[in-house]
């Protein structure tokens, strides 16, 4: 049984439901055909064998009894008139045994009888036949398979009459051949017709699978989503029909949820854009009045001067935050960026120069190719990407940190990397570092600044708006931001 199971495991199995159902149908039909064929062959073999036994009973021991004459016929004697062949079919075998030894053995031919020389094994098989008047099968090497009956003679001898099994075996073999051809053709036709029928029956399920595949390939993360057409209606009383109906209802719920989410995102985006736009003027006004108050020539108490300086500084920071929020809102709305050739090499040189001036306590290193790297995009926004990455490396690493900025051209893309050997990004922050307002609870330095957590979000949004991407690899002692832009 274990060998059969291992053999079955080694057989190739279809992966589709249609293939499995078709194979299962053909296998069941093959098992049924095999069972019918075996039953018919066994029944035919038994029926013909019983008919042969009836012929043996009708023939009786007349032929072997007629061999009980004096003298021995030569082996090639043909046409002996002393043997009684009346009502004996051609091929009838007769043998006389006395004291367990064969004294005479002959076969009926069309022209008479023919003595048969039996081997020692044949004589032993004949001697072992029970004298009970029932038929038994023997295999005579001198002749063929025979069905024989042994009976007592009047002289105390044993008379054996036999008929060949060759006609029975020929009829059975012919039936096996015909059954194999018919069943094989039936299996082939059933396989083709069953495959077509199963395919037609499962057509709604195939359409459901195709629709599900289309839905799985849609970008459902954000934005307006148009789902593909529903699967066609089918009989709701069938399993396939119920699956198709449930799938269509599920798609309807998903589409409603996506529509509501998109409407909510649009409202939130418009609110952020409108609020940012409206805040720019009062923030600029507060900052201007604070700076104007600081320029007053009269005496001002130190604590008032300090308060005005803080108001001016926080107003400037709030203005930057408003500008960042407005930029993100415009990028979310799909606002087109400028499209012009941008020399990234020159952009990197300028950005690192600015960063070196802002962070002289850091060690800044440049790795640039010999040839300029040019991309098509918005120069101002790409400069903002570089500035945000360098500011992130400067603010969140201690003094003396090595910051390496490299630029290269690889596989049709410009690759910009900013690497530092600082303490790294905390593991709980790294997965959402490009999300908006993401701020670590544990800063990499004590002087972490008070940013709003929008810098890296702008890096990701601008990179995606240019058809590129940004990624982070961080561990203690090594942090690398990689920006890829199509060149």
pLDDT in tens, 239-271: 667 777 777 777 777 777 777 777 766 666 666
CA gap 456, 221 in Å, rounded: 19
pLDDT at res. 115 = 84
Strand order in the sheet with 101-109: 112-115, 101-109, 93-98, 158-164, 145-152, 135-139
pLDDT in tens, 13-56: 666 777 777 888 888 888 888 899 899 999 988 899 899 888 88
Q: Which of 417, 388, 405 is nearest to 484 (CA)?
A: 417
SS3 163: strand
pLDDT in tens, 320-344: 777 767 667 767 666 667 888 888 8
Beta strands in 50-133 (DSSP E): 93-98, 101-109, 112-115
**Residue 78 DSSP one-character state:** B
Q: Which of 324, 480, 462 is nearest to 397 (CA)?
A: 480
DSSP string, 430-478: GGGTTSTT---SS-SSS------S-HHHHHHHHHHHTT-EEEEEEETTE
* Reported pTM: 0.47
Reduced DSSP (H G I as helix, E B as strand, rest coil) percent helix, strand, coil of the chain, to 5: 50, 20, 30
CB atoms within 10 A of CB 294: 14
CA gap 93, 84 in Å, rounded: 12
CA dist list (Å): 424 to 10, 297, 398, 401, 429: 51, 48, 11, 11, 11
pLDDT at res. 297 = 76
Output the six-digit token pair for 153. Answer: 């003679």
Which residue bears the tokens 């459902």? 220
CA gap 393, 418 in Å, rounded: 8
CA 66 to chain centroid, in Å, comes to 79
pLDDT at res. 402 = 92
**8 Å CB contact between 283 and 315:** yes
**Residue 118 DSSP one-character state:** -
* β-sheet bridge partners, residue 374: 343
Q: Which of 123, 124, 137, 132 is nearest to 165 (CA)?
A: 137
Beta strands in 173-283 (DSSP E): none
Calculate helix-pair angle for 455-465, 302-332, nearest 10 degrees.
30
pLDDT at res. 78 = 45
Contacts within 8 Å (CB) and 24+ apart, 433-436:
433/472, 434/459, 434/460, 434/470, 434/472, 436/328
Cα R_g (the chain), whole angstroms:
50
CA 283 to chain centroid, in Å, comes to 58
pLDDT at res. 373 = 87
CB atoms within 10 A of CB 382: 25
Q: Which of 252, 270, 263, 275 is nearest to 222 (CA)?
A: 263
Q: Which sign does the torsion angle of CA 456, 458, 459, 460 carry?
A: positive
**8 Å CB contact between 148 and 138:** yes
pLDDT at res. 9 = 55
**Residue ranges of the chain whose pLDDT lies below 70:** 1-15, 68-87, 216-236, 238-240, 264-280, 324, 326-327, 330, 332-336, 438-452
Q: Which of 90, 82, 74 is nearest to 162 (CA)?
A: 90
Euclidean distance between the first and the last CA atom of the chain, given in angstroms as a whole number:
64
φ, ψ of residue 136 to 5 degrees: the values are -140, 155
CA gap 103, 83 in Å, rounded: 14
């Amino acid at each position: 049984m274990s060998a059969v199971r291992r053999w079955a495991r080694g057989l190739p199995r279809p992966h589709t439901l249609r293939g499995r159902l078709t194979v299962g149908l053909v296998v069941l039909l093959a098992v049924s055909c095999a069972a019918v064929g075996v039953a018919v062959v066994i029944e035919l073999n038994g029926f013909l064998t019983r008919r042969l036994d009836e012929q043996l009973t009708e023939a009786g021991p007349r032929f072997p009894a007629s061999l009980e004459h004096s003298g021995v016929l030569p082996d090639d004697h043909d046409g002996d008139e002393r043997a009684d062949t009346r009502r004996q079919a051609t091929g009838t075998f007769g043998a006389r045994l006395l004291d367990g030894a064969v004294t005479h053995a002959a076969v009926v031919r069309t022209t008479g009888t023919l003595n048969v020389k039996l081997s020692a094994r044949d004589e032993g098989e004949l001697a072992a036949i029970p004298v009970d008047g029932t038929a038994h099968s023997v295999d005579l090497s001198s002749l063929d398979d025979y069905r024989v009956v042994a009976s007592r003679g009047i002289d105390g001898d044993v008379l054996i009459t036999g008929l060949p099994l060759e006609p029975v075996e020929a009829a059975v073999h012919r039936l096996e051949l015909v059954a194999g051809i018919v069943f094989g053709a039936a299996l082939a036709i059933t396989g083709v017709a069953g495959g077509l029928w199963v395919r037609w029956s499962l057509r709604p399920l195939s359409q459901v699978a195709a629709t599900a595949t289309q839905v799985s390939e849609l970008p459902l993360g954000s934005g307006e989503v148009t789902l593909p057409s529903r699967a066609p209606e089918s009989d709701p009383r069938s399993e396939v029909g119920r699956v198709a109906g449930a799938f269509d209802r599920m798609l309807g719920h998903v589409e409603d949820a996506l529509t509501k989410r998109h409407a909510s995102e649009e409202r939130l985006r418009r609110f952020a854009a409108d609020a940012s736009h409206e805040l720019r003027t009062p923030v600029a006004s507060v900052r201007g009045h604070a700076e104007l108050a600081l320029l007053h020539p009269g005496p001002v108490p130190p604590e008032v001067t300090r308060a005005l300086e803080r108001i001016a500084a926080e107003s400037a920071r709030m203005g930057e935050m408003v500008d960042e929020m407005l930029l993100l809102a415009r990028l979310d709305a799909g606002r087109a960026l400028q499209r012009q050739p941008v020399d990234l090499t020159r952009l990197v040189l300028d950005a690192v120069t600015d960063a070196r001036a802002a962070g002289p306590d850091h060690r800044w290193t440049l790795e640039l190719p010999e040839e300029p790297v040019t991309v098509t995009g918005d120069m101002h926004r790409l400069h903002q990407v570089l500035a945000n990455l360098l500011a992130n490396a400067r603010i969140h690493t201690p003094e003396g940190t090595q910051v390496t900025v490299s630029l290269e051209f690889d596989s049709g893309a410009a690759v910009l990397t900013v690497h530092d050997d600082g303490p790294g990004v905390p593991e709980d922050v790294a997965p959402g570092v490009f999300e908006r307002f993401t701020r670590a609870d544990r800063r990499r330095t004590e002087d972490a600044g008070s940013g709003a957590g929008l810098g890296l979000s702008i890096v990701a949004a601008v990179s995606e708006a240019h058809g590129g991407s940004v990624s982070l690899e961080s561990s203690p002692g090594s942090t690398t931001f990689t920006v890829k832009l199509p060149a």
